[in-house]
Amino acid sequence: MIKLLLVLAVLLLVAVIVVLLARRVQRRESLQRTSENQRWYQQRLQELDEDRAAGRVDDEDYHQARLELDKTFVTDNKDIEQGINWQPIKPWLPMALLIIISLGFYAGYGSWNLQRQADDALQQLPELGKRVLQQQQEVDTDTLSTFALGLRQKLQRQGDDPVAWWIYAGLMTDLNQFDQANSAFEKSLTLDPDRTGTLVSYARFLLQNGNESNLQKAGQLLARTLKIEPDNVEAISLSGFVAYETGNYEQAINAWQQLLRLTPESSPRRTAVEQAIADAKQQQQRDLQQLTVTVDINDTLRQQLPQNGTLFVYVTAVDGVPMPAAVKRVPATDFPITVTLSNQDSMLPELQLSSLEQWKVQARVSQDDKIELQPGDLNAEPRVIKAVDAVNVELQLSERQP
């Protein structure tokens, strides 16, 4: 709609420019004629003055001829001014030009043409449906678009078919029209809430855009599917994926183990399922991984501990962002102090202990509750260890931050 308004605005501007140019041309012609009339008047007046000076006309004849010359000059100028309006530019002309041009665009590109294309697509719908089902991946985008247009026309006339809406949602997905696809899935489920094919397809569609809300909704759709069909292989597989993506590795393992039991021994899918289970178990182990850190302080610095100091024990990446992957904060009293770090102590969901191959273990006593370096802080020499080897680490507070 916005594009159409812009086109109409441009066309109106063109029409106005045409009118202004026409008026300018007429004005220029008027000025040229006025200038020629002025030259003729001056030339004739000069001739009368010469005749009077030579005695060829007396004063009375001279004044009479001068009067006639002035009348002629004024009359000619009036004729010229009237000539400007001889073919007047009416105020409705820009609108007439706009309408004519718009009708041209409408005939070639407007609603009439679109409706004709829609009617043609509806007539071709049965043939296009067979072609799409038979050729599938070999169908080009133009064919899919025409098939979708024809199906949309059918749905506008007979919109109570949940399967047709489901097919239309799939077409919109293939054509990257995700908003329309989402609406079509919702329409299909409104007409048939328990159709498992639609539930699973909609969940898969949502997982393609795996933000948190879509993951949650996909999980709900899959749960509905499994309540209706507990052995729905596709739903079990996708529910395992949802659990894996949300960090619920135990649930993912259980789902994929059930999928493995339903998968024939001869199926090539078994290898992928087994690999997914192994990966989930590995992630589960890493997620459960813990690091125990014991921090002590030498006798010299023990006497210099700030009264309200805070001990920070934290792990960062060896290279990269300085943000801790895990951090514990405790009062700086009663050394040695032992703390346990895990993914539960991460500050960001995307940066956890389990996401690092190596850990840089550090400890600092701050004079307040801020982890940032400050003058007077007590520090331990950092330790870099491999994550797979980490169980217990000891650190010694031995230097003061200058």
pLDDT at residue 105, rounded to an integer = 53
Task: Please tell me the distance from the alpha carbon of residue 276 to that of residue 235, in angstroms, as a whole number.
Answer: 16
pLDDT of residue 338: 92
Sign of CA dihedral 193, 195, 201, 203: positive
- Is the sign of the CA dihedral 89, 92, 98, 102 positive or negative? negative
The bridge status of strand 291-297 relative to strand 392-400 is parallel
pLDDT of residue 237: 94
Give φ, ψ of 44 to 5 degrees: -65, -35
List, for the chain, all residue ranges whose pLDDT scores fall below the cut of 50.
1-2, 4, 84-87, 110, 112-113, 121-122
Q: HSE-up of 215 (CA within 13 Å, CB side)?
A: 12
User: Nearest to residue 314, comparing CAs of 363, 250, 347?
Assistant: 363
336 backbone dihedrals φ, ψ, rounded to 5°: -75, 150
Residue 173: the pLDDT is 87
The pLDDT score that the predictor gives to residue 38 is: 66
What digits encode the pLDDT tens for the residues 14-28? 655 655 555 555 556
Q: Which two three-digit tokens encode residue 7?
A: 């086109």
Q: For residue 133, what pLDDT is reported?
A: 61
How far apart (Å, rounded) are the C-alpha atoms in residues 48 and 183?
A: 92
pTM, 2 dp:
0.57
- Please state whether 54 falls in left (phi above 0), alpha (psi between -120 and 50) or beta: alpha
Please give the pLDDT value at position 112. 44
Distance of alpha carbon 179 from the chain centroid: 12
pLDDT of residue 62: 63
Amino acid residing at 282: Q
Q: What are the C-alpha distances in Å from 58 to residues 43, 117, 130? A: 19, 88, 107
CB 369 within 8 A of CB 271: no
Which tokens in the block code for residue 214? 């879509």
Q: Are 330 and 311 in contact (CB under 8 A)?
A: yes
